A and B are shown apart, each in its own frame.
Chain A
Amino acid sequence: MGMTLVQVVVSGLLLGAVYSLFSSGLTLIWGMMNVVNFAHGDFVMLGMYTAVVVWTALGGGPWASVPVAAILIATLGIVSYFLLVRHIMRGPMLAQILGTFGLALFLRYGALWIFGANFKTLPDDLVGHSFIVGGIRFEGARVLAGLVGLAVTLLLHFILTRTSVGSRMLAVSEDAVAAQLMGIRPQRMQALAWGLAGAATGIAGALIATFFYTSPTVGETLSIVAFVTVALGGFGSVLGALVAGLLIGVIESLSAFLIGPVYKDVIVYTVFVLVLWFRPQGLMGKA
């Protein structure tokens, strides 16, 4: 029992790291522009398909697909910003919600059209086999995704808090008009935020594809977790998403193991509601 429990916690942590990787793009966009990107899950889905295509067409593993997905989805993010988001931001909140939701449906059914409804999977030894350390089993693909997740999250945090580009982006998010008076071009910064978020999301997708199935609707399955992670961590806080992701991963794994898989969501959402009850801004969000 003891060893298995440690194994459960470890796999929960790895799962959680993937959740935070998955969510960082969503929280970044919210933090920068107060826009909830409902198409986020479908951005991840396209990142996953990028990995599938890179593997089937070129036989390339994550070393090839991660950079390709980062560039592709970053481009998609910037294009969506200029063609859609920039315009709907002038409208009411409802227009923003429906606008990105419409984008989500467009991408999802576009993928259904192009790739078909079939589930695709990558070969499970693409990243290397699992290994055992101290009696605990680690699976290559998940460890890679978890580590990259940590790295990307910390990198985003560093860019936002320690670089001048980050300061300019934050300035735009605080007060776009004042930032403009200081010589910062808000649109350029916002486009950059969409590009960065897209890159992080593309990386997440390409890595998740190495151990998860890929289908046009997979974004839907994953995005609920992303929203919970972001809300729990505090909308806009990249570090918050990291902590929340790890927390949710461990709670989910432990409750599924100890109580039963159908109850794991109940436990996760109970914790979620309780945290928001006492800290409506989330664990690390600004009040």
Chain B
Amino acid sequence: MVKIVHGAIRAGAALVALAIALPAFAQETVKIGAVYPLSGNSASTGNYAKMAFEMGADIINNGNPELAKIFPLAKGGGLPGLKGAKIQMVIADNQGTPAAGQNQTLRLITEEKVAALICCYQSGITLTASAVAERYGVPFLNAESVAANLTERGFKWFFRTTPVAADFAKAYSTFLKEQQAAGRKVDSIALVHENTEYGNSVSSVISDAFKKDGLNITMNVAYSANSTDVQPQVLQLKEKNPDVVIFVSYTSDAILYAKTMKEVNWKPAILIADDGGFNDPAFTKAMGSVTEGLISRSVFAPGKPGSVPAILDALYKKKTGGDGLDDVSARVLQGFFVVADAINRAGSTDPAKIRDALKATDLKPDQLVAGYDGVKFDDKGQNVLASTLVTQLRNSQYVSVWPKARATDPLVLPYKGW
């Protein structure tokens, strides 16, 4: 009898010991939330972003030997700073509306208890969603919204890795001035932009910068990205016939404008599209053949074989079944690596520690997938080392043409179209 009791006690003790020991063996996970447009008008961009996140998490959790030589976090086995905790991406749908973005952000914070958030592509949604994160004190990183006011709100939990409208405006203005010096006409410039946060803010920054540099914006057209028809606008452009047209658009409207310009048979000598929809792989695939020579901006150029962007580009092609990284997906992936790096250095899922780690971020250009000069945040949370390239569409692929130092291909003007 005593023996049996003894045995039972021993077994019990062993069980208790096992129960205590178990958590140490159990694979811990760190949840990172992402709220992107998986449905709605920008759904194609959102789904490419989703694939970038999944690929990023897979690299950190399972490793990539080639990448590990340059990028320590790619050794595999999770985050070394958290004893090999794996990253779990929780990706929610913002449906392309600020209200849904806000609700999903709230859900990820309160229900999923994510350690940090990466959000939201559309500037208007980033604006509302980041306010929720600020209220709950959760680190919020934005990788691609360019509206200027996002970092001007005195937020303490907001970080942004992407270059902003002022950087682009400066690039366009310098680029056009150089064309002018080379003898091309840039006397009249039309600015055509969609009328939510992204289009309005970017176009107003461009107008200000151009005014300062003595470039003449003769026409300013705002339109709704949900338009069913853009013929009247293209006819208006045809009548005024400006030398340069700059578009600030999302994907569906970019497709309509490209189609309609061919229908109406009109093209300017220089056509600049401020990224956005014009850089969506769905756009280049569908409309590339009728927009040859379109000028855009991008932070992504694949670069030399063996470099971080080249390796990741190849991996991404495998993931998507053929589409390489583009301007948006490269910025998204960069945002993810910045957050992963910060959580790793924080060595904890405590929001305040992650925020402090983000503040101390100092990434060098050779470790980046995006073509920035580095990642380092100022007091407002803006990456001060963000920068951009000017690209041109050639055979449905963007190649970098400016500035000369980083160009891979020569610039070809005038705009050819179809």
Contact in complex: B222, A260 (CB < 8 Å): yes
Known: A119-B283, A121-B255, A213-B256. A221 touches B44 (CB 8 A): no
Contact in complex: A215, B233 (CB < 8 Å): no
Interface stretch, picked from A7-15, A158-166, A180-188, A235-243, is A7-15
Cβ of B11 < 8 Å from any Cβ of A? no
Taken residue by residue from 253 to 287, chain A's Cβ proximity to chain B (1 for < 8 Å, 0 otherwise) reads as 11011001110110000000000000000000000
Contact in complex: B252, A262 (CB < 8 Å): no
Closest to B252 in A: A213
- Report Cα–Cα, A156/B280, bound state, in Å: 41
Q: Interface SS of chain B: helix, strand, loop or mixed?
A: helix
Chain A residues lying within 8 Å of B111, measured Cβ to Cβ, are none
What distance in Å separates the Cβ of A89 from its nearest Cβ neighbour in chain B?
30
- Report Cα–Cα, A221/B224, bound state, in Å: 11
Contact in complex: B39, A4 (CB < 8 Å): no
Cβ of A56 < 8 Å from any Cβ of B? no
Taken residue by residue from 41 to 65, chain B's Cβ proximity to chain A (1 for < 8 Å, 0 otherwise) reads as 1011011000000000000000000
Interface residues in A190-236 by Cβ distance below 8 A to B read: 211-213, 215-217, 221-222, 225
- Report Cα–Cα, A221/B229, bound state, in Å: 11
Closest to B37 in A: A117
Interface residues in A102-149 by Cβ distance below 8 A to B read: 109, 112, 116-121, 124, 130, 137, 139, 142
Partner of A8, one of B230, B232, B285: B232
State the total of A-B contacts with C-beta under 8 angstroms. Answer: 112
- Report Cα–Cα, A1/B238, bound state, in Å: 11
Taken residue by residue from 166 to 200, chain B's Cβ proximity to chain A (1 for < 8 Å, 0 otherwise) reads as 00000000000000000000000000000100000
Cβ of B131 < 8 Å from any Cβ of A? no
Chain A residues lying within 8 Å of B229, measured Cβ to Cβ, are 11, 15, 252-253, 256
What distance in Å separates the Cβ of A114 from its nearest Cβ neighbour in chain B?
14
Contact in complex: B43, A216 (CB < 8 Å): yes
- Report Cα–Cα, A124/B239, bound state, in Å: 23
For A, the interface residue count at a CB cutoff of 8 angstroms equals 39
Closest to A259 in B: B232
Partner of B224, one of A118, A211, A215, A261: A261
Contact in complex: B262, A124 (CB < 8 Å): yes
Contact in complex: B259, A211 (CB < 8 Å): yes
Known: A15-B231, A253-B229. A119 touches B222 (CB 8 A): no
Chain B residues lying within 8 Å of A265, measured Cβ to Cβ, are 224
Chain B residues lying within 8 Å of A215, measured Cβ to Cβ, are 41, 43-44, 252
Chain B residues lying within 8 Å of A121, measured Cβ to Cβ, are 255, 259, 286-287
Partner of A253, one of B231, B283, B285: B231
Interface residues in B211-254 by Cβ distance below 8 A to A read: 221-224, 226-233, 235-236, 238-239, 251-252
Chain B residues lying within 8 Å of A262, measured Cβ to Cβ, are 195, 222-224
- Report Cα–Cα, A212/B256, bound state, in Å: 7
Contact in complex: A139, B39 (CB < 8 Å): no
Contact in complex: A130, B263 (CB < 8 Å): yes
Closest to B192 in A: A261
Contact in complex: B282, A256 (CB < 8 Å): no
Contact in complex: A261, B223 (CB < 8 Å): yes
Partner of A4, one of B227, B239, B263: B239
Chain A residues lying within 8 Å of B233, measured Cβ to Cβ, are 256-257, 261
Contact in complex: A216, B47 (CB < 8 Å): no
Closest to A132 in B: B265
Contact in complex: A118, B256 (CB < 8 Å): no
Partner of A217, one of B40, B231, B285: B40
Contact in complex: A256, B232 (CB < 8 Å): yes
Closest to A252 in B: B229
Chain A residues lying within 8 Å of B259, measured Cβ to Cβ, are 121, 124, 211, 213
Closest to B283 in A: A119
Cβ of B290 < 8 Å from any Cβ of A? yes
Contact in complex: B232, A11 (CB < 8 Å): yes
Known: A121-B259, A124-B259. A221 touches B286 (CB 8 A): no
Known: A130-B265, A213-B255, A262-B224. A117 touches B232 (CB 8 A): no
Known: A121-B286, A213-B286. A1 touches B223 (CB 8 A): no
What distance in Å separates the Cβ of A177 from its nearest Cβ neighbour in chain B?
41
Chain A residues lying within 8 Å of B231, measured Cβ to Cβ, are 8, 11, 15, 253
Top 9 A-B pairs, shortest CB-CB distance:
A117-B43, A261-B223, A257-B232, A256-B232, A121-B286, A119-B282, A118-B282, A213-B255, A11-B231
In addition to A11-B235, A217-B41, 10 A-B residue pairs with Cβ atoms within 8 Å of each other are A11-B231, A112-B39, A116-B44, A215-B41, A222-B228, A252-B229, A253-B232, A254-B232, A260-B221, A261-B233
Pairs A–B under 8 Å by Cβ, sample size 29: A4-B236, A8-B235, A11-B229, A15-B229, A15-B231, A109-B39, A117-B38, A117-B39, A117-B43, A118-B44, A118-B47, A118-B281, A119-B251, A137-B263, A211-B263, A212-B256, A213-B256, A215-B41, A215-B43, A217-B40, A221-B228, A254-B232, A260-B221, A260-B222, A261-B224, A261-B230, A261-B232, A261-B233, A264-B232
